[in-house]
Amino acid sequence: MKVLKFLNERLEEVFLVILMVAAVIIVTMQVITRYLLKIPLPWSEELARYIFLWLTWVGASYATKERKHVCIDVVYERLPQMGKKVCNIISTIVWIAFLCVMVFISVKLTSSVYSGGQIAVGSGIPMWIPYASIPTGMTLMLIRLLQNCYHDIKASKAKKEEGEC
Q: Residue 69: name the closest of 130, 151, 141, 10 by CA.
A: 141
- Collect all residues with Cβ–Cβ distance below 8 Å to 138 and sequence separation of at least 6: 57, 99, 102, 103, 106
Tell me the per-residue pLDDT of 99-142, one tens digit each, with 9 for 90 and over: 999 999 999 999 999 999 999 988 899 999 999 999 999 999 99
pTM: 0.84
